Amino acid sequence: MGWLDRVKTKYRNDRAARVTPLILGIETSCDETSAAVVKGGRQILSNVVSSQVEIHQQFGGVVPEVASRRHVENITCVIEQALREADVQLADLSAIAVTYGPGLVGALLVGVTAAKSIAYAKSIPLLGVHHIAGHIYANFLTEGITPPLVALVVSGGHTELVYMKEHGTFEFLGRTRDDAAGEAYDKVARSMGLPYPGGPAIDRLAHEGTPGTIVLPRAWLEEGSMDFSFSGLKSAVLNLLHNAEQRGQTLNPADIAEAFQAAVIDVLVEKTVLAVRKTNVKHVVVAGGVAANRGLRKRMEERAAEEGFVAVFPPLPLCTDNAAMIAAAAYPFYKKGWFHDLDLNAYASLPLIKWEEGPFQELGRDV
């Protein structure tokens, strides 16, 4: 009996016995090595994250080769710790879920290789997960929400508005035309001499600034557009700093941070409101590293109360990259009986819609 036949048998036996699925998630898309065990798609039994922030701080950003090597060093220990904290064995697992794109391809390959190796050795179903879907599903780990909903995905590499009509289906309403919001945060922070990562540093400093002291532009684009653009705002900050230096002026860094953050948040929140009005949903989930931003949380909750929708944010540990969100995103596909074969590969660029469409092996939806 081949691997796929053994996997089909396990899946069907587990479903027939009504076993509550235990999914091992693995995440290595950038600079966090993470493994987690999630029960029934929502209950986190363990979520181990080994961060590389201190290593990359000296470079002012993530160095792909360094990240990949550190993943190789950490992946086995992180997986073992996740299993130990969850008090489960590999044989207890129902499936393995792993991020296979988008991200740094060398980093992704470490996680994909580890997942495939375990899946093959233990005859466990394998499911590749889209990184952005993982961030969206981080909200399902603590909140009793269901689709339809709008997701604002905002991180270092992504700024997108996604309409999720039902589990596993995604429609883009808007996306960034240039810099992602988190990327703009990092670049502005670097120009101000603030440490990496720039988002938390600017968020902290912004709360010390005086609103209205400095006013920066907002890129609203065409009327009714739900797309984003932050390169002009980033350039405005750079010009502000350069002109002040040329004139010998001293600007209050807190006022600059406050003005920059206000400009970003205004656009993020108002574009989200447009998406809610278009889709008539009652729930908005905010996903990605910038979801931890205090200013964004406060402003989104205020507008949600005014507009009559509920804004949901993940707990802070689930905003950044982690494996629990990957396991949660895999759960609806597990229930459908859709899995990947051992030819699963890593992709630096992977459209969310392409992931939704497959390719998947069907292991027995009729069970």
Query: In the beta sheet, which residues pair with residue 32?
Result: 51
CA–CA gap between residue 224 and residue 14 (Å, rounded): 49
CA–CA gap between residue 122 and residue 104 (Å, rounded): 27
Give the per-residue pLDDT at 66.
Answer: 75
272 to 12, 133, 294, 303, 327: CA distances (angstroms): 41, 18, 17, 10, 27
Q: Which amino acid is at 293?
A: N
CB-based burial label for 319 (10 Å; 0-12, 13-18, 19+): buried
The verdict on whether omega for the bond into residue 148 sits within 30 degrees of 0, i.e. cis, is yes
Give the per-residue pLDDT at 283.
Answer: 96
Secondary structure element (H or E) that encloses residue 338, with its range: strand 338-339
Q: Which residues contact 157 (CB under 8 A, 6 or more apart)?
A: 102, 180, 182, 183
- pTM of the predicted model, to two decimals? 0.91
Give me the helices (H) in the chain, please. 3-16, 53-57, 64-86, 105-122, 131-137, 181-191, 198-206, 231-247, 253-279, 294-307, 323-336, 352-357
Chain position carrying tokens 């653009």: 229
Give the per-residue pLDDT at 268.
Answer: 98
Give the per-residue pLDDT at 351.
Answer: 84
- Count helices and strands in the chain by DSSP H and E runs: 12, 12
CA–CA gap between residue 207 and residue 259 (Å, rounded): 10
CA–CA gap between residue 127 and residue 41 (Å, rounded): 14
Query: In which residue ranges of the chain is pLDDT below 70?
Result: 52-65, 354, 356-367
CA–CA gap between residue 92 and residue 99 (Å, rounded): 21
